[in-house]
Structures are given as structure tokens and as C-alpha cells.
Structure 1
Amino acid sequence: MRLNQVTVPCVDYEASVAFYKTLGLKQIVDSPPRYARFECPESDGGGEPATFSLHHVEGWTGCDHPVVYFECADVDATVQNLARQGIDCTSPPRDQSWQWREAYLRDPAGNLICLYHAGEIRRFPPWRIDG
């Protein structure tokens, strides 16, 4: 089994599509105002890239969970690039005790997004359960 698709709610289709394009996702389905699908720019090495979707809902005000994580090679450079394009983080990049570098932001619908870098530690932390 492999996680392939995550769908989050959106309330402003155009704003959400623009936001995720700015993050670097490639739009592959455009069905305004209800649904959009994107491909992540890279696969995790396991084949096809993951996909990510938006589905329009009425009355959504955002929430803190679940959190959508997008890994990037350089969190600080990504955050600086997004800031130049008008997207600000709610939490600047910082090193976490679990050895990831993370920055948080919200999409136009209020969904919580984490930009992070973990590298090999994502799958192989020192506390990994083997077997």
C-alpha cells in the first residue's frame, strides 16, 4: 500500500489553485469551482509522484488538523521565495527536536501546511522500530 492522494477543502477555488501552483504543484485537473488536482513536483523515489486535490465546500473555516506536509530540499530558501511572491509563513523555519526543519503556513481555506526537510530521517529516525 502507498499513500497517493490527499484532498483538502477549499472555499475560494481560484485563490486555492493559485496558492498551490505557487508552492510548485502542477495542476492536472481543472473543474472549477468544485475540484482541482495537482501532481507533486517529485516522487518519493517509489514511482509516480503523489497527487493532491482541492474540493470546494461551503462554510469551511479551516483547522489545525490534519496537517499537510510537503518536503522541500531547502526550507529556508522555499520560505524566502514564497515571501517574495506574497505568501507568508505563520511560523518561520526552525529545527525541531525530532531532527526536522519545519515552517508552517495556511492555505487560503485555512488548512495548516508544513514545509519541512527531513531527508533520510523521515523514514529512518534513530528511534525507528525495526522488524
Structure 2
Amino acid sequence: MKLNLNQITIPVRDVEKSISFYEMLGLKLIVQALPHYARFVCKSGDSTFSLHQSNKFGTDNIWIYFETESLDQDVIELQTKGVVFESLPKEQKWLWKEARLKDPDGNQLILYYAGKNRKDPPWKI
């Protein structure tokens, strides 16, 4: 079996509000079925990302990683748009550089750059 990640769907309280947030991050809206659903494509790669309206939320359950080669510049640009980061770009011991923020519903987002270490870290099996 060969699996390829096609799409991730996350719960949000207000799909329309979340559309604005994810467009500000650079995702392109391709499906809008308000008030219940929206889907985006990333500017790089083939994966899609979608939102569905929900009132059921856990605590710290969803972590979403978006990779960007221009992490430092992207963080600065988002800060000028009012995005608040929990942590600014920092080299991690797992050899990824990461910045962390929350979406309007508290989902954990990590903007990062890993380069070759994304799939081929020195400790790869």
C-alpha cells in the first residue's frame, strides 16, 4: 500500500472567520460552503487543508505543521499583519527551525523549515 497525505480537516467554531486567518497565512481558498466547510490549497505541494464547523474541541489535540523556506521573513510579514506568535523562529534539537502560533480556535500551528532533515534526519531508521 502506498499512502499519500491528501488533506487534513480541522474543527473550527467560525468557518468564515477562520478563512480570513488561513488566507492571511498564504493558503488559497478553493471551496467555500458556509457556514459549515472550506478547503484550501497550499502554494507549495499538493496537499489540501480544510475547515469544518464544530463546537467540539479538545485541549492541545491538533498540531499542524506548515513548512516554508522563508520562515524568518514570513514570520516578520505575518507580525506586520497583527499575527501574534507564541514563539519566534528557533533552531530545535530535532534540527528543524520553528515558530509557533495559535489559530482563532486555539489549534497549534507550527511554521517551520527542516530542509533535508524533514525526511532524512541523522537518526533516520
- After superposition, what is the alpha-carbon deviation per residue over 1:21-75, rounded to whole angstroms, capped at 9, x for unaligned? 01111100001110000001111xxxxx100000000253x63233100000121
Counterpart in 2 of 1:46?
A: none
Structure 1 runs not aligned, ≥5 long: 44-48
Structure 1 length as normaliser, TM-score? Answer: 0.89
Structure 2 runs not aligned, ≥5 long: none
Written as runs of structure 1 = structure 2, the 5 A alignment for 1:39-58 is 39-43=41-45, 49-58=46-55
Task: Name the CA distance, whole Å, in 1 between partners of 2:120 and 2:56.
Answer: 40
> For structure 1, which segment, 8-17 or 114-123, has the greater mean C-alpha deviation from structure 2 after superposition?
8-17
Q: How many residues align?
A: 123
1:65–1:59: structure 2 CA closer, same or farther, 3 Å change rule?
Answer: closer
Of 2, 16, 19, 1:17 maps to 19
Superposition CA RMSD, Å = 1.1
Counterpart in 2 of 1:107?
A: 103
Task: Name the CA distance, whole Å, in 2 between partners of 1:94 and 1:87.
Answer: 17
- After superposition, what is the alpha-carbon deviation per residue over 1:74-103, rounded to whole angstroms, capped at 9, x for unaligned? 211111111111111111111000110001
- After superposition, what is the alpha-carbon deviation per residue over 1:81-129, rounded to whole angstroms, capped at 9, x for unaligned? 1111111111111100011000110111111000000011100000011
Structure 2 length as normaliser, TM-score? Answer: 0.93
Instruction: Report percent identity of matched pairs.
Output: 46
